[in-house]
Amino acid sequence: MSAATITVGGADPYDVVIGTGVLGALPGMVGPKARTVAVVHAARLTAISGPVVHALEEAGYAVHAVPVPDGEAAKDVAVLAGLWSRFARLGLTRTDAVVGVGGGAATDLAGFAAASYLRGIRAVLVPTTLLAMVDAAVGGKTGIDIPEGKNLVGAFHPPAGVVCDLATLVTMDRADYVSGLAEVVKAGFIADPRILELVEDDPDGAARPDGPHTRELIERAVRVKADVVGADLKEAGLREILNYGHTLAHAIEKAEEYRFRHGYAVAIGMVYAAELARLAGRLPQSAVDRHRAVLASVGLPVSYPGGAWPELRATMSIDKKSRGATLRFIVLDAVGEPGRLEGPDEKLLEAAYQEVAR
């Protein structure tokens, strides 16, 4: 099957190439002006970063592999500063490039390093997890974490291209793959109900990288994100819908010291947002029930400990979607019809949480 190419529009359009064995697309994305390429990769992914390095060397670039810590530990100020120094020692110039290889943490870090070094150099991303393919690597958001919260420091820096080689997914741990599926399901709830139907028709297949609809699910999720960020790169309005479920999710991740899978937190956050919309009179019970059913069918959690609410509520106050003292949520008025709920009553917030508490 040939590769699919999805173009993300906007001031600096770029392509997302999806398929198996598609690393040949990398040199065209790095471009003819670059001489030196730094391949920033998660330390344990040498089996995947090696072919990336080889593909770029074959195209004539001077390529340097730069390993970074695995997982969320990569998104650290000290790691970022180390990359800046390494780039300087390698002699990277404004016409050179950074290629980020790995999961969402690695691509977030590599993207931010590229955005901030020399005030911005070219970045190409090679996501190797489902979560990174459908979310982190597409859209131009880059960033790191600080003790006060996740992704609070970063920049909008669209990549020059994204290469999603589906062959990398077969090496994923099942729990990590299912975690990434939460972002696919999210795309279904906010914009493309066909995604939900595909999951409902074959939950077991949806939860496996070798499932019959894996490529279609990924393509559909990427198209949803591409359409949104192409119209609104810097989250001036429309792009906020991609944060469905994320207000509570980021609070959960901070409470768990980032040891909780992102997709697990997003799944719980979506159920919470659905309950909030129901209690606000905006979403029918049937739609809330569908959230629980779809997410649970693929093995995603739909509840969280009740005693955590005070800590979670405090963390949500510094959520990036807040405006001053006003807390903002993305909610649904129906499947595929997202909207905003601003400044909900505290009793409503807590009542919705009690619906997801266990």
Task: Determine whether the annotation assigns residue 262 to a binding site.
Answer: yes
Contact (CB, 8 A) for 51 and 145: no
| pLDDT exceeds 80 at position 232 | no
Q: Is 171 annotated as a binding residue?
A: yes
Active site residue 220: no
Higher-confidence residue of 202 and 233: namely: 202
User: Is 64 labeled as catalytic in the residue annotation?
Assistant: no
Nearest to 94 by CA among 31, 173, 156: 31
- Annotated ligand binding at 106? The verdict is yes
- Select from 177, 92, 175, 192 the least CA-distant residue to 128: 177
Q: Taking the CB of residue 191, how many other CB atoms lie within 10 A of it?
A: 23
Query: Do 30 and 37 touch, CB atoms closer than 8 A?
Result: yes
pLDDT at residue number 324: 56
Q: Is 141 a catalytic residue?
A: yes
Q: Which of 208, 262, 321, 328 is catalytic?
A: 262
75 annotated to a ligand binding site: yes
Q: Which of 41, 223, 250, 254 is catalytic?
A: 250
Tens digits of residue pLDDT in 130-154 = 999 999 899 899 999 988 777 889 9
The residues near 355 (Cβ < 8 Å, ≥ 6 apart) are 271, 272, 275, 279
Q: Is the pLDDT of residue 57 over 80?
A: yes
What does the pLDDT average to over 57-80?
96
Neighbours of 147 (CB within 10 A): 8
List residues bridging with 154 in a β-sheet.
143
**Segment 308-351, tens digit of pLDDT:** 999 999 999 876 555 556 899 999 999 999 999 999 999 999 99
Closest CA to 138 of 94, 180, 82, 189: 180
Please say if 243 is a catalytic residue.
yes
> 350: annotated binding-site residue?
no
246 is in an annotated binding site: yes
Question: Which of 123, 129, 53 is CA-nearest to residue 87?
Answer: 123
CA nearest to 65, candidates 33, 110, 120: 110
In 3-state terms, what secondary structure has residue 304?
A: strand
Of 119, 259, 347, 358, the active-site residue reads 119
| Active-site pick, 157, 208, 235, 254 | 235
Catalytic-labelled residue, pool 41, 122, 151, 183: 183
Q: Is 57 a catalytic residue?
A: no
Does the annotation list 141 as a binding residue? yes
Among residues 41, 208, 225, 278, the one annotated as catalytic is 225
Long-range contacts of 77-85 (CB under 8 A, 24+ apart): 77/144, 77/146, 77/153, 79/109, 79/144, 80/109, 80/112, 80/113, 80/116, 80/144, 83/38, 83/40, 83/109, 83/110, 83/113, 83/117, 84/113, 84/116, 84/117
Number of H helices, E strands in the chain: 14, 11
CA 326: distance to chain centroid?
25
Q: Exposure of 324 by Cβ count < 10 A (0-12 exposed, 13-18 middle, 19+ buried)?
A: exposed
Q: Is residue 70 marked as binding?
A: yes
Question: Does residue 4 have a known ligand-binding role?
Answer: no
Give the chain's domains with CATH numbers.
Answer: 4-171 (3.40.50.1970), 174-356 (1.20.1090.10)
**Tokens 């903002």 correspond to what residue?**
328
**Residue-by-residue DSSP string for 211-232:** STTHHHHHHHHHHHHHHHHHH-
Residue pair 358/306 in contact (Cβ under 8 Å)? The answer is yes
For residue range 31-48, list pLDDT tens digits in order: 999 999 999 999 999 999
Q: Confirm whether 250 is a catalytic residue.
A: yes
* Per-residue pLDDT at 77: 96
Phi and psi for 326 in degrees, rounded to 5?
A: -95, 120
What's the average model confidence in pLDDT over 255-278? 95
| Given 157, 220, 239, 321, the catalytic residue | 239
- Look at strands 122-127 and 141-146 and give their pairing: unpaired
- Give per-residue pLDDT as tens, 88-104: 999 999 999 999 999 99
